[in-house]
Chain A
Amino acid sequence: DAGVTQSPTHLIKTRGQQVTLRCSPKSGHDTVSWYQQALGQGPQFIFQYYEEEERQRGNFPDRFSGHQFPNYSSELNVNALLLGDSALYLCASSLVARGGYTFGSGTRLTVV
């Protein structure tokens, strides 16, 4: 049983560009959350999607947006990239009303 799959694994972008990261949740999971992890820090919550709607959002600017598709997969979009957006972006999936998220291995984004 595949866990959470994220693509791409690594990405290099230039300041001002836009990026799209993708996540396929674990089979049977219906909720997807995104986290940003800067070097040496714990992951920071960006937002959570359930039934194709954003249900919670962390303290991130509107440059960060997302989408969930009918098959529960999700995308994270970041516009107007800044150097400070360089981080590991983690996707986590879960089944509503069950404890414990399953995390993917993340996408390492480097903004130059």
Chain B
Amino acid sequence: DAKTTQPPSMDCAEGRAANLPCNHSTISGNEYVYWYRQIHSQGPQYIIHGLKNNETNEMASLIITEDRKSSTLILPHATLRDTAVYYCIGTNSGGSNYKLTFGKGTLLTVNP
């Protein structure tokens, strides 16, 4: 699995967009980028994943650079409930028969 690097913490004002960066310079061509988040005392929650193209769903958008060495998770209108640890993970399958290698993630704090 690709090694990923994320800032340990970030702050965001409520209602503003939260942009969470992730570096994955060693990612290989068949590895997907997955994002999960973990709110305190809960299990991780799947957010979004992508391979090459930008992706959007009801929770967030994922922007992957053309060289695939980095990506950004965008929460368009952050709320207090978005305060959580966000994990960026590179893994070698778009299906579910893969394992997730979690790092320490980014603690996003959304402030009122």
Contact = CB atoms under 8 A, between A and B. Distances in A.
Are the chains A and B members of one assembly? yes
Interface of A: 4, 31, 33, 35, 41-45, 48, 50, 55-56, 58, 90, 92, 94-106
Interface stretch (B9-17, B19-27, B43-51, B68-76): B43-51
Nearest to A44: B102
B49 to A, nearest CB: 5
A100 B46 contact: yes
Contacts of B41: 105
Interface residues of B, number: 21
Contacts of B34: 99-100
Nearest to B32: A99
Q: Which 5 A-B pairs have the closest CB atoms?
A: A42-B102, A103-B43, A94-B96, A100-B46, A97-B95
A97 B42 contact: no
B103 A42 contact: yes
A43 B44 contact: yes
Contact of A92 (B32, B43, B49, B103): B43
Contact of B101 (A45, A94, A95, A99): A45
B90 interface: no
Nearest to A108: B41
A50 B97 contact: yes
Given A97-B95, A100-B34, 10 more contacts: A31-B97, A35-B100, A45-B99, A56-B97, A95-B96, A98-B95, A99-B95, A101-B44, A103-B43, A105-B42
Contacts of B95: 96-99
Interface in B73-91: 87
B87 A58 contact: no
A90 B100 contact: no
A99 B44 contact: no
Given A42-B104, A42-B105, A106-B43, A100 B97 contact: no
